[in-house]
């Protein structure tokens, strides 16, 4: 079942400004955090040195402001990245709550990082770091909808074919027949949230699902 939502309802489910969970996702792994720290530190030091070499005029204030912005990049960088991701999703024209079932489950391997390294024989070899992703195929009474994939964790072992699943789906096609975009999803029978990026304000989504469930029942 697809339950249409208005843009005002979507704005209550996907905020313009990043939430705590979205900030954590955008902050990234230790390697990405280190990259942000390096950019923040180098940029901050350079702009600070330039600012102290300036006379106390309008240029000095500008360089000092840039110095502060660079030092705070570790904070506003992830916020900006997550906020842009939210706004990008909200640019779609049509939105609906999908209330359906899992019709198939399988695993796949995805390469997270790769690098070349010299082995003990002096030859270059490719080192790949892989992670297992779980892929769910979704359907409802009208047939097949789409796939939802995300990094697999131990808690996902309880997911089974036939489990009820709800998520937000968007498209620029009014009939939702192609180019579908899915958010993270809620499995109400298991009280479990799944997905890669946490688009939704989850308590608000659970509440609106309950409202519509009571309405259609």
Mean pLDDT for all residues in the chain: 87
Residues 40 and 137 in one domain: no
Residue 162: pLDDT band (50, 70, 90) is: very high
CB environment 29-41: b (16+ within 10 A), e (fewer):
eeeeeeebeeebe
- Asked whether residue 17 is assigned to any structural domain, the reply reads no
Residue 170 confidence (pLDDT) above 90: yes
CA 198, CA 14: separation in Å to the nearest integer? 9
| 7 domain residue, yes or no | no
Q: Which of 90, 113, 146 is where one domain is finished?
A: 90
Band (pLDDT 50/70/90 cuts) for residue 179 is: confident
- Same domain, yes or no, for 30 and 126? no
**Cα 182–Cα 179–Cα 105 angle in degrees, nearest 5:** 50
How confident is the model over 48-71, as a mean pLDDT? 78
> Is the residue at 117 inside a domain?
yes
Residues 189 and 106 in one domain: yes
Of the listed ranges 78-92, 118-132, 197-211, the least confidently predicted one is 118-132
> Which band of pLDDT confidence, cut at 50, 70 and 90, is reported for residue 198?
very high
Q: Is residue 14 part of a domain?
A: no
Rg for the chain, CA atoms, rounded: 22
Q: In terms of domains, do 194 and 184 share one?
A: yes
pLDDT at 79: 92
Report if residue 65 sits inside a domain: yes
Do 208 and 101 fall into the same domain?
yes
Q: Which domain holds residue 129?
A: 92-216
């Amino acid at each position: 079942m697809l339950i249409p939502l208005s843009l005002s309802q979507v704005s209550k489910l996907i905020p313009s400004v990043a939430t705590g969970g979205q900030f954590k996702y955008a902050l990234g792994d230790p390697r990405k955090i280190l990259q942000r720290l390096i950019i923040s530190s180098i940029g901050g030091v350079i702009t600070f040195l330039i600012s102290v070499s300036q006379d106390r005029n309008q240029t000095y204030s500008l360089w000092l402001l840039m110095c502060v912005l660079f030092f705070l990049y570790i904070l506003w960088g992830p916020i900006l990245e997550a906020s842009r991701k939210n706004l990008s999703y909200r640019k779609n024209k049509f939105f609906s709550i999908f209330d359906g079932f899992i019709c198939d489950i399988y695993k796949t391997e995805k390469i997270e990082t790769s690098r070349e390294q010299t082995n003990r024989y002096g030859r270059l070899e490719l080192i790949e770091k892989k992670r297992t992703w779980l892929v769910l195929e979704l359907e409802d009474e009208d047939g097949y909808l789409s796939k939802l994939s995300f990094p697999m964790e131990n808690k996902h072992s309880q997911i089974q074919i036939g489990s009820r699943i709800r998520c937000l789906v968007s498209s620029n096609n009014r009939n939702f027949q192609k180019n579908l975009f899915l958010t993270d999803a809620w499995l109400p029978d298991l009280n479990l949230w799944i997905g890669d990026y946490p688009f939704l304000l989850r308590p608000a989504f659970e509440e609106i699902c309950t409202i519509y469930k009571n309405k259609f029942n």
